[in-house]
Amino acid sequence: MFPPTFRILAFVLPVLITATTTQQFLANAALADILARGAPILGFDTGCSQTSKTCDWMRNYPDSTKLVHMNLPGTHDSATWNYTQVTQDSLFRYTGTDIPPAEIFQCQDKSFFDMLNLGIRVFDLRFAYNPGNDTLGFHHSQALLAPTTTVEDVWFGFYHWLEQHPTEAVLISLNYESGTGTPRDLKLEQDIYDIMSSDLASQYWVQTNGSLGTLGEARGKLTLLRRYDYEFLPASESKRFGIPFSPSAWTDNSPSITIVYNTSAQQKAFIEDYYETNGLPIGAGAAENIQWKYNATMAHLLNATTQNPDQLYITFASSEHDEDVPPETPRIQALGNGTDTPGVNQKLLPWLQEHKGKRFGIIMLDFFDSVPGLVEAVIGL
C-alpha cells in the first residue's frame, strides 16, 4: 500500500497533466490564430539556418554596449513588403482605384520574420485606423497595407520572435500616418495608448522615457522611437515611454535634422531623412537622382563616423522621386534602373566595407536584401 499522500497524488497527477496540456494546447491555438491574422505584415517564421550570422548577431556584443554606439540595420516603411500590384488591386474596395501604382509605395520585399532573421533590428511603422475606424492597422500614405491585421497582432509577432531570440533587441519607430482618409481623433489616441500601456506591452517594451540605454537593458524587448504626439489624450494618461520624436521637430524631407530628445541629459539625435530628391529638374533621370541621395547619405554617414560618439545617428538611405518623368520609385533609387545605373544600395556597400569598425548608427534601407552582404556590412560582421 502507498501512504495516503501518494495515493492522492496518483489520482490527481493525471488530471493536472491533462489540464496543463489542454491549457498549453489552448495557448498555442490562440497564438497561431493571432499570428495568422498578423501574417500579411509579419509573414511566416521559417527559422534560421545553423550557419546564419545575422539571426542572433547581437549575442556577440556585451550587455554594457550602448545602443548609440551600435550599428543597427533598419528597414524604411517596413510594412510595405507585400504591397505588390496584386495586393493593391485586391484592396481597391477600400482604397478606390484612384491611387498611384503599387510600385510608388512598395519599399521592401521580405516579411518581418525574414527581416528579423536576416539581422534587421529597426522597423519603421505607420499606424492609422483600419477600414471601419475600429481597430488600428498599418498604412503607407493612401496605401492600406492589410485591412484585417491589427497593431496588436504585429506586436505579438515581435514578442513571439523575441522569446525565441532573447539576446536580440529591436527598435520600433512608430508614426501616425496621415493622408489615409481615416479620422485622427481622441479614440485613436486612446487606442494606441491602451495598446502601448497594457500589462502585456509593459513586459515587452523598454519602459524608460527619453533615454536610450544599453544593449543589456534592451535585449528580448522592443524599444520605442515615438514619432507621434498625443494631441487629444488627457495628460492624466501619463504612461508615455520611449524616445520622443515629435513630428513637429522632425523636419520633412531634410538632409540634416537635429532633435534634442532629452534636454536635461542633452541627448540628441542627428537624422538624415531626405527622401524625395525634389531639387532636381523633371527628366533628370535615375543616375542623377540616385547620386543626390547617395551624397546626402554619405554626408550624414561621414558625420556618424567622426562626430558625437555618444549621440544617436539615424541615416535613411531610402528615397524616391515620384514627380520625375519617368518616376524614380523606391526600388529604382535603392537598386538602380536595372541596366547601367547602380542604386544607392550598391554604391553604399563598398563604402561601408571600407569603413568597417566605425560607428554608423542606425541605417534605414529600402530593399535591403537585394544587394548581398549589405546588412552584414552595416552591422560590421
The yes or no reply on residue 315 touching ligand NAG (CB under 6 A) is: no
Task: Decide if 223 contacts 242 (C-beta within 8 A).
Answer: yes
Complete DSSP assignment for 317-376: ---BBTTSSS-B-HHHHHH-SSSS---HHHHHHHHHHHTTTS---EEEESSGGGSTTHHH
β-pairing verdict for 267-273 and 254-262: antiparallel
Among 102, 222, 286, 344, binds ligand NAG (CB under 6 A): 286
Closest separation in Å from C-beta 99 to ligand NAG: 15
Nearest one of 173, 174, 179, 110 to 140, comparing CA atoms: 179
Does position 327 interact with ligand NAG (CB under 6 A)? The reply is: no
- Considering beta carbons, is residue 82 or 329 the nearer one to ligand NAG? 82
Question: Rounded to the nearest whole angstrom, what is the least distance from the CB of residue 168 to ligand NAG in the complex?
Answer: 22
With a CB cutoff of 8 Å and minimum separation 6, the contacts of 219 are 58, 63, 166, 167, 168, 169
Q: Considering only residues 127 through 146, tell me which ones interact with ligand NAG, judged by CB under 6 A.
A: 132-133
Contacts with 334 (C-beta within 8 Å, 6 or more apart), sequence order: 317, 318, 319, 343, 344, 345, 365, 366, 367, 370
Using the rule CB under 6 A, is 209 a contact of ligand NAG? yes
Phi, psi of 11, rounded to the nearest 5 degrees: -80, -40
- Residues 78-137 binding ligand NAG (CB under 6 A) are 82, 86-87, 90, 132-133
From residue 156 to residue 195, the character string flagging contacts with ligand NAG as x (rule: CB under 6 A) and all else as - is --------------------------xx------------
39-47, 57-65, 192-200, 346-354 -> range binding ligand NAG (CB under 6 A) = 39-47
Q: CB of 294: closest distance to ligand NAG in angstroms?
A: 7
Smallest distance from the beta carbon of 243 to ligand NAG, in angstroms?
9
Instruction: Indicate the residue type of 318.
Output: S
Which is nearer to ligand NAG, 89 or 163 (by Cβ)?
89
Under the binding rule (CB under 6 A), the answer on residue 240 touching ligand NAG is yes
**In angstroms, how far apart are the furthest CA atoms of the chain?**
95
The phi-psi region of residue 47 (left if phi > 0; otherwise alpha if psi is between -120 and 50; otherwise beta) is: left
Residue number closest to ligand NAG, CB atom: 210
Task: Report the relative pairing of strands 72-75 and 362-365 from DSSP bridges.
Answer: parallel
Question: What's the rounded Cα separation, in Å, for the pair 315 and 269?
Answer: 10
Stretch that binds ligand NAG, among 13-21, 23-31, 37-45, 99-107 (CB under 6 A): 37-45
The half-sphere exposure of 71 on its side-chain side, counting CA atoms within 13 A, is: 22
Measured CA distances, 179 to 73, 140, 252 (Å): 28, 9, 15
Out of 167, 303, 346, 370, name the contact with ligand NAG by CB under 6 A: 303
> What distance in Å separates the CA atoms of residue 324 and residue 261, rounded to the nearest whole number?
35
Q: Does 362 bind ligand NAG (CB under 6 A)?
A: no
Pairing of strands 170-176, 312-316: unpaired
Q: How many residues bind ligand NAG (CB under 6 A)?
A: 39
Give 57 or 228: the residue with its C-beta nearer to ligand NAG: 228
Q: Which is nearer to ligand NAG, 299 or 381 (CB)?
A: 299
CB 170 to ligand NAG: min, Å? 20
Q: Which residue type occupies 194? A: D
Q: Is 197 among the residues that bind ligand NAG (CB under 6 A)?
A: no
Point out which residues bind ligand NAG (CB under 6 A): 39-40, 43, 82, 86-87, 90, 132-133, 182-183, 209-211, 238-240, 244, 255-256, 262, 264-265, 272, 285-287, 291-292, 295, 299-300, 303, 307, 337-341
